[in-house]
Amino acid sequence: MFLKALRSRRTPVVLDTLAALAPSRPIEVVSASEIRTARLTLRPLRPADRDEYLRVVRASREHLRRWVPLNEAGETHDEFFDRQLAAASEGDRTGLCWRRIGVLGDGSIAGAFNLNAISRGLEWWADATWWVSRAHTGRGLASEGVGAMLEFALGDPPRGLGLHAVHAGVDPDNTPSRRLVEKLGFAHDPGQSSHLQVGRDWRRHEFYIRRAA
């Protein structure tokens, strides 16, 4: 995980600073492992992605630092990649997470889109997290990727996960991300907030919820 929760049963949320909303487009669910949008393929991280993934992480470190401290303290980039690769594989194996990278047509990685802490109890829900690289902000890719992820998460099986709700946490100072979740149909949950550890700082996050139609 990128952030640590102080007072929340939910997995903390990582949000991109992009709020531009792309036009609504249908998605193609190739399989539970892969989703295609107009510009992105959401698929699992692979060992062969190491060089490109780390290139994007290095280039986006300062861009994401305030909201998304990707590396844990003392962790090298290669260790970070190995951790993300293992998390994606374990999530698919257990069904507790659905972690995907967003790949453009030219093979470049635009960011990551994740459903964490998937719960199938009385209510089926998950926590949404995502980030978009510095080079690809301002193009509506966050909206496109998150929108496709939500459609898959809340869609009926077998073409979706059949979840009842998806949660997201937003730092109140992250105005673009707050606008993004609102535009994507999340409702603010005024009764839920938590201080999450972002790097060495603890920052208050407010929670939003998007329910299935």
pLDDT tens figures, 98-107: 999 999 999 9
- SS3 per-residue string spanning the chain: CCCEECCCCCCCCCCCCCCCCCCCCCCEEEECCEEECCCCEEECCCHHHHHHHHHHHHHHHHHHCCCCCCCCCCCCHHHHHHHHHHHHHHHHHHCCCEEEEEECCCCCEEEEEEEEEEEECCCEEEEEEEEECHHHCCCCHHHHHHHHHHHHHHCCCCCCCCCCEEEEEECCCCHHHHHHHHHCCCEEEEEEEEEEEECCEEEEEEEEEEECC
pTM for the predicted model, two decimal places:
0.83
pLDDT value of residue 160: 94
Cα separation, 130 vs 13, whole angstroms: 8
Give the domains, in start order, of the chain with CATH numbers: 4-211 (3.40.630.30)
Q: Which residues pair with 165 in a beta bridge?
A: 125, 211
Q: What angle do CA 53, 150, 26 make, to 5 degrees?
A: 90
What local confidence, expressed as pLDDT, does residue 39 receive?
A: 97
Q: Which residue has the tokens 């690769």?
A: 85
* pLDDT score of 35 more than 70: yes
- Tokens 């109140």 belong to 172
Say how far apart CA 111 and CA 39 lie, in whole Å.
13
In the predicted model, what is the mean pLDDT of the chain?
A: 83
pLDDT at 13: 43
Region 66-71 average pLDDT = 69
Q: What pLDDT is attached to residue 198?
A: 53
Q: How far apart are CA 153 and CA 7, in angstroms?
A: 25
